[in-house]
Amino acid sequence: MKKERKSAPAWLEEGRSHVWHPYAQMQTMPPPLPVARTEGCRIVLADGKELIDGVSSWWSAVHGYNHPHLIEAAKAQLDTMPHVMFAGLAHEPAYTLAARLSRLTPGWGGEKSLKHVFFSDSGSTAVEVALKMALQYWNNTGKPRKDRFICLHRGYHGDTFGAMAVSDPERGMHKAFKKNVIMHYALEIPSGEYSFAEFAETLKDIAPQCAGLIMEPLVQGAGGMLFHSPDTLAEIHRLCHEHEVLFIADEIMTGFGRTGSMFACEEAGIIPDIMCVGKALTGGVTGLAATLATGAVYEAFLGDDPEKALMHGPTYMANPLACAVANASLDLFAREPRLEQAATIEAALHKGLRPLRQLSGVFDVRVKGAIGVVQLAPQYFSAEQFQQAFVERGVWVRPFGDIVYLMPPLTISPDELNTLICVVCEVITAWAQEVRQKVGYLFR
């Protein structure tokens, strides 16, 4: 029997003409789904319908929603001190978090440990801070002409101006601002015909003007969920060091278990000079990000000269509430088997999604850690229609570009994961049959 739909809540009607949604053509976008609450790995809509979350609220809710340990930490912190400014003042949640976070980073304990932590409030801001750090590092060490960055095709590092400038200049979502941002050097990741030798040659030529190279290690997220190997990552890192270019790892998406290790850089055995984290840092509860630097970078800012200091300080920097939740999230990583859960998800994604490769219009199926990607023929693909089909079947998956991807909470239950994968397979199989009919042959 069909369930009767409740009418839209009053707040939705009242706010509809006021609210501006992200990345959306407001005139044509389908009405957003009103959410009443979240629970475990589910989003509960105002009409009572439950959606299994396949994308962890933009890849942040690694422990699922409303994890009691995170909620308790937040409530306790709210009672004592929700916020206090961080200039000239110190508080336990931030100091504890900085020490704990450092200890978790790749290469901890060695000479090149990432032991200096600058907190901010979003991933984009953490990237801005990283870029500023790199520029000022060279300024402070007498090489001010190193004032450009190397970034990678298909890279995405956020929506603010500095971050846009180091994201893919051609294919990224910020094309409209191409003329408004500083031009940096965008290189292809070496693969196939574009060899490492060519990449190295270009890097060597531009290195004297470059403060740093920024990249998403192992998985480029918003640029299309593209993977490269740990060897590729290690070689790019090596070349940066050889040519005096700081290596900035943007682990905002990859960090905290998503690729199967705590941080993607670990898999390549590298220690970045600067590393950005955000998103899952608080387990998706509240905004917080951090930019970590090695001793060598940090020490370049020390001295008697106030001009050498890092001039940055967001109002909500190191927000105690967010830091307390982030500490609780790190407790969960220590106590609960998140990396094992990522490995289980990886195996299930491999097994469940692989058969899609045989279908018409399916160009690629790839899996890395708790990330599963199905790349489809763009000319027949409508992200909107796919999303609607997913919602009708009780899952929340947001395709973009030419891909359908899954990045579920690491705590997802086997049954929920199975449902998620089955629904994705069902919707893509139906679509592939239509493609085959339209094209008239098996099109891959």
Ligand X SMILES: Cc1ncc(COP(=O)(O)O)c(C=O)c1O
Q: Which of residues 156-215 bind ligand X (CB under 6 A)?
A: 156-158
Closer residue to ligand X, CB minimum distance, 214 or 359: 214
Q: What is the DSSP string of 263-289?
A: SHHHHHT---SEEEE-GGGGTTSS--E
Write down the catalytic residue from 279, 298, 316, 368. Answer: 279
Give the span between the Cα atoms of 129 and 341, in whole angstroms.
32
Using CB under 6 A as the binding rule, whether residue 252 contacts ligand X is answered as: yes
156 flagged as catalytic: yes
Q: Determine the 3-state secondary structure of 253 from DSSP.
A: coil
Asked if 404 and 428 touch (Cβ cutoff 8 Å), the reply is yes
Using CB under 6 A as the binding rule, whether residue 216 contacts ligand X is answered as: yes
Q: What six digits make up the tokens of 240?
A: 């940066």
Using CB under 6 A as the binding rule, whether residue 250 contacts ligand X is answered as: yes
Write down the catalytic residue from 121, 159, 250, 273. Answer: 250
Choose one: 247-255, 262-270, 345-353, 374-382; the region binding ligand X (CB under 6 A).
Answer: 247-255
Asked if 160 and 132 touch (Cβ cutoff 8 Å), the reply is no
Residues 6+ positions from 359 with CB-CB distance below 8 Å: 428, 429, 432, 436, 444
Closer residue to ligand X, CB minimum distance, 105 or 124: 124
Q: Determine the 3-state secondary structure of 336 from DSSP.
A: coil
Give the span between the Cα atoms of 147 and 154, in whole angstroms.
22
- Which amino acid does the sequence have at 440? G
Closer residue to ligand X, CB minimum distance, 98 or 407: 407
Q: Residue 288: which of 165, 104, 121 has the closest Cα?
A: 121
250 flagged as catalytic: yes
Residue 426 has a CB neighbour count (10 Å cut-off) of 13
Using CB under 6 A as the binding rule, whether residue 369 contacts ligand X is answered as: no
Q: Output the smallest distance, CB 241 to ligand X, in A.
A: 22
* Contact mark string toward ligand X, 255..284, x via CB under 6 A: -----------------------x------
Write down the catalytic residue from 23, 79, 304, 415. Answer: 23
Q: Output the smallest distance, CB 57 to ligand X, in A.
A: 11
Q: Output the smallest distance, CB 59 to ligand X, in A.
A: 7
441 flagged as catalytic: no
* Contact mark string toward ligand X, 284..323, x via CB under 6 A: ----------------------------------------
> Would you call 153 exposed, middle or buried from its count of C-beta atoms within 10 A (0-12, 13-18, 19+)?
middle
Catalytic residues: 23, 156, 250, 279
Q: Which residues bind ligand X (CB under 6 A)?
A: 122-124, 127, 156-158, 216, 221-222, 250, 252-253, 278
